[in-house]
């Protein structure tokens, strides 16, 4: 038996999140059984746990879009008992039972061997949010963005993606501007590497299709009017890596930034990203993020604290990353 956070639906259709004792026989099919040491709470997890958005399509469901731990059993030759592994995306916590449990059975094709210099605790201080931040940084670099081009804006700066993106970009030599609704966190954001803070209110309302050129590039996890204003404010040839929808899924803008300034809107998906790109991202994260910075940006909770934290995360009341200690 093992402990898990289990989501069910009550007769009225509301999502219920409760700690349950489960048996390994209840786990879904997969080649690898993992003893989960740590998971995280991401924005998508919070949506699933609260039932705010139809992230989960079938019930019961164990949420948790990422996990890190060690192999307990494997029928795939690539993995053997004791191997340290991590996983994020591929629909776990949405279509297949995920990481907010002490055990998970998953497909071998989904697992990433733990990079050198990283363990489960550090991996889940990064989690899917930090991995997505690295994919965004890679998207900017793929399009030739360099520190010499000018400052880079990071929206949703106090969130999981934003906080790690600031740290990564600053350590690559970029001048980072951080947009946040919590200006009281200025000290923390500057510690991560932000050079300038911007009140998110200046970006969150409808704006002109073309605005003053301010940033060479941006990492956006917010969407909606914020993303439209970011596109309108990029310098000629600028790129925005878009990966989130905290403000909304809508995008009301015009073609002006794209055809008059050559702006690129680069979509970043972390769920189905090819394995080669995942491996590159995680290997870079192991090298480029100091452990002390990660710990200062991470809150660690137990499994029984996840359900209460989820609405706080959606309300923008959680700073940085939240790691869940499963103790497996």
**Do the Cβ atoms of 117 and 162 come closer than 8 Å?**
no
Residue at 102 is within a domain? yes
Q: Please give the pLDDT value at position 54.
A: 87
3-state secondary structure of 328: coil
Q: Is the pLDDT of residue 156 over 90?
A: yes
Domain check: are 188 and 82 in the same one? Answer: no
Residue at 209 is within a domain? yes
Domain check: are 69 and 149 in the same one? Answer: no
Domain check: are 179 and 151 in the same one? Answer: yes
Give the pLDDT band of residue 182 (cuts 50, 70, 90).
confident
Domain check: are 140 and 251 in the same one? Answer: yes
Q: Is the pLDDT of residue 328 over 70?
A: no
Domain check: are 225 and 151 in the same one? Answer: yes
For the segment 18-68, what is each residue's pLDDT rounded down to a tens digit?
Answer: 999 999 999 999 999 999 999 999 999 999 999 998 899 899 999 999 999
For the segment 221-241, what is each residue's pLDDT rounded down to a tens digit?
Answer: 999 999 999 999 999 999 999
Domain check: are 143 and 233 in the same one? Answer: yes
Domain check: are 138 and 259 in the same one? Answer: yes
What is the rounded average pLDDT for all residues in the chain? 96
Q: Please give the pLDDT value at position 78.
A: 97
Give the pLDDT band of residue 279 (cuts 50, 70, 90).
very high
pTM passes above 0.85: yes
Q: Please give the pLDDT value at position 53.
A: 87
Residue at 237 is within a domain? yes
3-state secondary structure of 141: helix
**Can you say how many angstroms the Cα of residue 190 is from the centroid of all Cα atoms in its chain?**
20
- The domain boundary residue, chosen from 267, 284, 317: 267
Burial class (CB in 10 A: 0-12, 13-18, 19+), 239: buried
Q: Please give the pLDDT value at position 90.
A: 96
Task: Tell me what percent of the residues of the chain surpass a pLDDT of 90.
Answer: 92
* CATH number for 29: 3.90.180.10
Q: Which two tokens stand for residue 125?
A: 């201080």
Across the range 72-88, mean pLDDT stands at 98
Domain check: are 242 and 314 in the same one? Answer: no
Residue at 8 is within a domain? yes
Domain check: are 307 and 262 in the same one? Answer: no
Domain check: are 193 and 243 in the same one? Answer: yes
Residue at 122 is within a domain? no
Residue at 277 is within a domain? no
Beta-ladder partners of 177: 153, 196
Q: Please give the pLDDT value at position 185.
A: 87
The number of residues making up the chain comes to: 328
Residue at 121 is within a domain? no
Nearest to 225 by CA among 261, 244, 253, 199: 253
Number of domains in the chain: 2
CA distance 42 to 242: 17
* CATH number for 144: 3.40.50.720
Domain that holds residue 158: 128-267
Task: Tell me what percent of the residues of the chain surpass a pLDDT of 70.
Answer: 100
Domain check: are 141 and 251 in the same one? Answer: yes
Domain check: are 102 and 19 in the same one? Answer: yes
Q: Please give the pLDDT value at position 199.
A: 96
CA–CA distance from 298 to each of 205, 265, 273, 301 (Å)? 30, 30, 25, 10
């Amino acid at each position: 038996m093992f402990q898990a956070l289990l989501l069910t639906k009550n007769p009225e259709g509301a999502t219920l999140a409760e700690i349950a004792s489960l048996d390994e026989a209840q786990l879904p099919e997969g080649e690898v059984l993992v003893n989960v040491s740590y998971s995280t709470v991401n924005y998508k997890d919070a949506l699933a746990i609260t039932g705010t958005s139809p992230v989960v399509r079938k019930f019961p469901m164990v949420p948790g879009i990422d996990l890190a731990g060690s192999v307990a059993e494997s029928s795939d030759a690539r993995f053997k008992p004791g191997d340290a592994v991590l996983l994020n995306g591929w629909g776990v916590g949405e279509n297949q039972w995920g990481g907010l449990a002490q055990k998970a059975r998953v497909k071998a094709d989904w697992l990433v061997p733990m990079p050198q210099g990283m363990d489960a605790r550090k991996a889940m201080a990064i989690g899917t949010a930090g991995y997505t931040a690295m994919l965004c940084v890679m998207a900017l670099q793929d399009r030739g963005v360099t520190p010499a081009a000018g400052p880079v804006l990071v929206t949703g700066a106090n969130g999981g993606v934003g906080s790690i993106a600031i740290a990564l970009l600053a350590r690559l030599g970029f001048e980072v501007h951080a947009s946040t609704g919590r200006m009281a966190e200025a000290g923390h954001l500057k510690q991560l590497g932000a050079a300038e803070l911007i009140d998110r209110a200046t970006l969150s309302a409808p704006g002109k299709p073309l605005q003053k050129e301010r940033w060479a590039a941006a990492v956006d996890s917010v969407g909606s009017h914020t993303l439209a204003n970011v596109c309108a404010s990029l310098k000629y040839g600028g790129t925005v890596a878009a990966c989130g929808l905290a403000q909304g899924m809508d995008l009301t803008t015009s073609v002006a930034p794209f055809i008059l300034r050559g702006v690129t809107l680069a979509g970043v998906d972390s769920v189905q990203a090819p394995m080669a790109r995942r491996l590159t991202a995680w290997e870079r994260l192991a090298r480029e993020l100091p452990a002390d910075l990660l710990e200062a940006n991470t809150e660690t909770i137990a499994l029984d604290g996840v359900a209460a934290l989820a609405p706080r995360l959606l309300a923008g009341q959680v700073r940085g990353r939240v790691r869940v200690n499963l103790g497996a």
